[in-house]
Amino acid sequence: MSDSTYQIIALVIYMAAMLFIGWYAYRKTVNLTDYMLGGRGLGAAVGALSAGAADMSGWLLMGLPGAIYVSGLVEFWIAIGLTIGAYLNWFFVAPRLRVYSFVTSDSITIPSFLENRLKDSSRLLRIVSGAIILIFFTFYVSSGMVAGGVFFESSFGLDYHLGLVIVSGVVVAYTLFGGFLAVSYTDVVQGLMMFLALILVPIIGVFATGGFSETAASIREVDPALLNFTTGASLIGIISAVAWGLGYFGQPHIIVRFMAISTLKEVRQARRIGISWMILSLLGAASTALVGIAYFQQNPGMELGDPEGVFIVLGQIFFHPLIAGFMLAAVLAAIMSTISSQLIVTSSALVEDLYKIAFKKASTDRQYVTLGRLAVLVISLIAAALAWKQNSTILDLVAYAWAGFGAAFGPLILLALFWRKLTTWGTLAGMIVGAATVIIWDSLDAEFAVNLYEIIPGFILCLIVAVVVSLFTYKPNAQIDKEFNETERLIKEKPAK
């Protein structure tokens, strides 16, 4: 059999496994909480790997190795910032959000948590935040579909549209039927595939390049600066790279995982698993790039066309075609895990945060689950339509959507969890100012604006505005104080053994 045949077999096995998991989750999904939040029953490992896989996408296997291959370890500052941000998110936000979201009327989405936490009877906060999630994540999903189409086009020479249909069809199928459980279980498989691939490629690569000292020597022959963390970097550049970590506090598709973990004890275990997975995966991605530099220096007859393909090319060189096929599947897994996570959060925003408010007529849980599935289908079709013409504008929008979510939601999630005086008007004002700052800052031509990542001013201004407006509009509320105190009590309790 040809190499491409082996690779196609590996991809078919992978996709069949995803569909099987979707069918399995479908049988376990009964009510809306099951469909949107897995019945709050995720274990530590599932919650941790699901959050990690939902977070990283194709950037981990292609974007980061490609950047380090070209510019060296100076590009690793983003990974350092993300690791710090993820750890702080797991340490401070995860346990408190898990408890507080349950205490506040068993909230199952971020907008519903904010509304219930602040006792917003106007419903305005829930509508605005739900609409922001719906709009931005539709573009996010579309960008993932674009990446899936490009993956098949570049890896197998297939038509872009065929690749888009294949990826979209499989993701939509298991997400639509299996809901949050299917997304979480598939994320576990996808996260493990990404982890193993990023560990195996550099380990085998070090042997292929003659060991650690030979590998380092070959890299220095290309350019000694590639092994330096600061060469070519400015202080503002490093601060901006590390500031990517601020985005974690406001990413709905990541922090919703915290709400779904079964117990506080499991949350703490999940933190250890999730951060270990992340650190080792990021180190594997960086090592893959460095091994690639050494390997192609030692083999001048071989050329690497696209630096972002260094992981894929090394996998094809070092492994049997079938194993190389699973390496390709790992890239696809990174793309699909993010699409499915964003789809389910967008569906929940449409049904739980917009439909329920617009149509106050009571429906059964089964009807709501059906509406959730219908929402997944509708959002997918819109996203696919946007992706059909391979439009760089979508990808440009996603480039600062991370900053947008981080600045618009991040400070508010922290204040909602840790400051009892946050108000509805403070939250709305902060959300608008944070999002607007990111958009305006990105459009500025001034040198300081170009060099400073927009999440920094957006996050700071959102925080300041939310605090100031809340202090002016704060009125004591016995129910808010009671729930805040109950959350404090539950957090301080020792978890049952």
For residue range 158-202, list pLDDT tens digits in order. 888 998 999 999 999 999 889 989 999 999 999 999 999 999 999
Longest dimension (CA), the chain: 74
Interatomic CA distance for residues 286 and 201, integer angstroms: 11
Q: For residue 398, which amino acid is it?
A: V
Interatomic CA distance for residues 200 and 196, integer angstroms: 6
Distance separating the N- and C-terminal Cα atoms of the chain: 54
Q: pTM for the full model?
A: 0.91
* CA–CA distances in Å: residue 383 to residues 139, 161, 380, 391: 7, 13, 5, 12
Instruction: Say if residues 65 and 288 touch (Cβ distance below 8 Å).
Output: yes
Buried b (16+ CB within 10 A) or exposed e, 382-400: ebbebbbeeeeebeebbeb
**What is the predicted pLDDT for the residue at 361?**
62
Low-confidence ranges of the chain (pLDDT < 50): 496-497
Domains of the chain and CATH, by start: 3-390 (1.20.1730.10)
Would you state the structure tokens that stand for residue 371, as one six-digit string? 């509406």
Residue 211 DSSP class: S
Instruction: Say if residues 430 and 411 touch (Cβ distance below 8 Å).
Output: yes
Instruction: Say if residues 350 and 375 touch (Cβ distance below 8 Å).
Output: yes
At residue 52's C-alpha, the angle toward residues 279 and 235, to 5°, is 50
Instruction: Say if residues 70 and 347 touch (Cβ distance below 8 Å).
Output: no
Helix runs in 157-262, H state only: 160-208, 212-222, 235-242, 252-260
Interatomic CA distance for residues 62 and 59, integer angstroms: 5
* CA–CA distances in Å: residue 463 to residues 401, 420, 435: 18, 15, 12
Nearest partner of 355 among 340, 341, 369, 342, judged by Cα: 369
Interatomic CA distance for residues 182 and 29, integer angstroms: 9
